[in-house]
Structure 1
Amino acid sequence: MNRYIIAELNIKMAIFGKILKDQSRAYQSLISPEKYKFEFRSDQDSIRIEGNIIQKTKEKIISETIDKWIFYRKEDKILKIQKIYYKNNNNAEFRYRELLKKYPLLKFDDYEYINTGFAFSRALLDYNGFCLHSSAVALDNKAVLFSAPCGTGKSTHTGLWRKYFGEDKAIIINDDKPAIRLMGDTFYVYGTPWSGKSDLNTNAKVPLQAIVFLEQASENCIERLSNKDAVRWLYYQSLRPTGPRSEEKTSNLLNLLDKIVCQIPIYKMGCTISEEAVELSYNTTILGK
């Protein structure tokens, strides 16, 4: 089990798949902290993967629970269903046997990458942080997050920032699920290994400057959202908690959203795929024009 520092949190992860191994390499730590905040374990003891053939190789004793995040149950020493099991608050163990049988085109690597990302975002809510479905770009030590439903063009827009300002100046912190944490009185954006379909993420910490919700439009326009509308948009695009303590964690999320809208400008922008869209978003968010 390797040690990682992600969003200034000490984490232990037992990683088996190539995707998460490659994505997490920049976050690996050689220094052993005194205490870990939480740990994730993708345990392959219970399965052996040979092409699309899944065979059970080791029994585990599992405590039964009624929580919907725990999908496996022990009856007569046979695990009927295996998916995700949370224990000890934020620690997580993962089982993929039934999922791999049901969706053979998706591989173990994919499930490990997806599920550990959700587990991280869920655990982050206990540490003044949350993950926002967005593409985060940093310029002049200021982070701007562009959020939108899948396929709207948030990655395209931040890609235009890199083209316009240069890839050495406009840095993609995370192209899909950046972490946001309130540290003291300042909101910071952090890179994480979980960056969606792309591998664009940077192990960086940058003060949050603004959040922009994008919509496709024939003309470029931008307006600042009211606090009420901003909370609604933020909540919709946040990775919301499920499973154990979901009510408590949802309360943590809403408290953070209340604080962020009072401190950080939140915009809605209709944009085209153009340099003019980049200039408008840059002038509004970074320069404050």
Structure 2
Amino acid sequence: MPLYEVAGVAINIANDDSESFMYMRDFLLPQQRQQSKADLTFVFQSNEVIEVPQGNIISEENISFKWLKKTSGETGYYIYVQEFGIGKIMVLMDIENSWRKVVFTWCNYIGNDPQVMVNSQSQIRLATHIMMGIVFRYNLLHMDGLVVHASALEWNGKGLIFSAPSGTGKSTHVKLWQEYINDVIVLNDDNPAVRIINNQPTIFGTPWSGSAFIHSNESAPLFAIIVLEQAQDNVLRKLDRHEVILKLMPRVFLPYFDQNFMDKAMTIFENIITSVPVYLLKCRPDREAVELVYQCLK
């Protein structure tokens, strides 16, 4: 049962099938730390048929994923993914209310077509990885951390977050940094983690990094947050607190489903935005836009 560590969270995956968790391989703890205590545990089982769980719908993030809050006196949550969004359940998560332990149920393939079996296993592995990332977001609250929809990099010991709605150009901007600035490390291209450690925010790479899977198991003190907007001219300015809340908070994965968790998340968010400057960069995808931010770092 290998142990992984993401942003300081020790994750126990109670399954020895390393191929199923290939997206996590960069975060495997060295042998001498494999006996560490886990902060988050994933347990796995399989069935030929997975029954639809009962509960109140919290979220249907897309056509495939369904999220339920348990009812009838039970606490915790179910998240499951269906084949093509409407078919049989392929993967089910049974999540403890604390977000510290999860039981996965995988659907066994029934049939004798090897290609269909391979495709089914591939879908299950990818869905499992994405669902583990959902759990990680809320488990991280126990360690004063949040996950942000953003691209993050490290340069010269300083961490930078570039955040914006999907399709705005976060990944493009980070690629420009790699092209024009030496010694840039991409921490994560989609879902980096930020933790408050000793009253200061630190940015971490995570294995949940979008379809490109660009990430590194590195961290850096967070130096600044840049909110991107497409524009004809390159302009950088610091945001006031009200603007930060309006522009950055929608990019943070917040636990709206639980008031206690939400209170914790808002405290962490407040600590982050009062510790580092947040800028708005209206920009074209060019070198001049990179230079504007680079001069702030220097």
Query: Deviation of residue 227 (structure 1)?
Result: 1.3
Query: Deviation of residue 83 (structure 1)?
Result: 2.9
Is the 2:147–2:193 Cα contact (8 Å) retained in structure 1? Answer: yes
Query: What 5-or-longer segments of structure 1 have no aligned partner?
Result: 47-54, 73-79, 98-103
Is the 2:54–2:70 Cα contact (8 Å) retained in structure 1? Answer: no
Query: Deviation of residue 218 (structure 1)?
Result: 1.0
Q: Distance in 2 between matches of 1:106 and 1:211?
A: 36
**Aligned counterpart for 1:191 among listed residues 181, 205, 216:** 205
Using a 3 Å threshold, how does the CA distance of structure 1 residues 277 and 242 change in structure 2: closer, same or farther? same
Q: For residue 116 of structure 1, give the secondary structure of its aligned residue in structure 2.
A: helix
Q: How does 1:153-164 map to 2 (within 5 A)?
A: 153-164=169-180
**Aligned counterpart for 1:120 among listed residues 136, 150, 162:** 136
Q: Provide, for residues 220-270 of structure 1, a one-character-per-residue CA deviation record: whole Å limited to 9, x for no partner.
A: 111111112213333210112265xx2111111110111111110001111
The aligned amino acid for 1:70 is Y
Using a 3 Å threshold, how does the CA distance of structure 1 residues 17 and 152 change in structure 2: closer, same or farther? farther
Q: Provide, for residues 157-176 of structure 1, a one-character-per-residue CA deviation record: whole Å limited to 9, x for no partner.
A: 0010001013xx00000111
The aligned amino acid for 1:239 is F
Query: Deviation of residue 217 (structure 1)?
Result: 0.9
Q: Distance in 2 between matches of 1:221 and 1:33?
A: 50
| 1:252 and 2:254 correspond | no
Aligned to 1:45: 46
Aligned to 1:181: 195
Q: Distance in 1 between matches of 2:235 and 2:172?
A: 17
**Aligned counterpart for 1:69 among listed residues 64, 77, 82:** 77
The aligned amino acid for 1:137 is L
Is the 2:76–2:96 Cα contact (8 Å) retained in structure 1? Answer: no
Q: For residue 83 of structure 1, give the secondary structure of its aligned residue in structure 2.
A: strand
Aligned to 1:4: 4
Q: Distance in 1 between matches of 2:285 and 2:97?
A: 47
**Aligned counterpart for 2:229 among listed residues 199, 212, 215:** 215
**Aligned counterpart for 1:89 among listed residues 94, 98, 101:** 98
The aligned amino acid for 1:3 is L
Q: Provide, for residues 74-121 of structure 1, a one-character-per-residue CA deviation record: whole Å limited to 9, x for no partner.
A: xxxxxx977321126221223465xxxxxx898112211211111101
Aligned to 1:132: 148
Q: Percent identity?
A: 29
Query: Deviation of residue 34 (structure 1)?
Result: 4.4
Q: Provide, for residues 173-197 of structure 1, a one-character-per-residue CA deviation record: whole Å limited to 9, x for no partner.
A: 0111111001112211111111111
**Aligned counterpart for 2:291 among listed residues 276, 279, 282:** 279
The aligned amino acid for 2:98 is N
The aligned amino acid for 2:288 is E
- TM-score (structure 2 length as normaliser): 0.78
RMSD of Structure 2 on Structure 1 (CA):
2.9
Q: Distance in 1 between matches of 2:141 and 2:262?
A: 8
Aligned length: 258
- TM-score (structure 1 length as normaliser): 0.80
Is the 1:231–1:258 Cα contact (8 Å) retained in structure 2? Answer: no
Q: Distance in 1 between matches of 2:155 and 2:246?
A: 27
**Aligned counterpart for 2:238 among listed residues 216, 221, 224:** 224
**Aligned counterpart for 1:233 among listed residues 244, 247, 255:** 247
Deviates more, 1:7-16 or 1:172-181: 7-16
Q: Distance in 2 between matches of 1:105 and 1:35?
A: 30
Q: For residue 220 of structure 2, give the secondary structure of its aligned residue in structure 1.
A: strand
Q: For residue 4 of structure 2, give the secondary structure of its aligned residue in structure 1.
A: strand
Q: Distance in 2 between matches of 1:199 and 1:127?
A: 24
The aligned amino acid for 2:196 is L
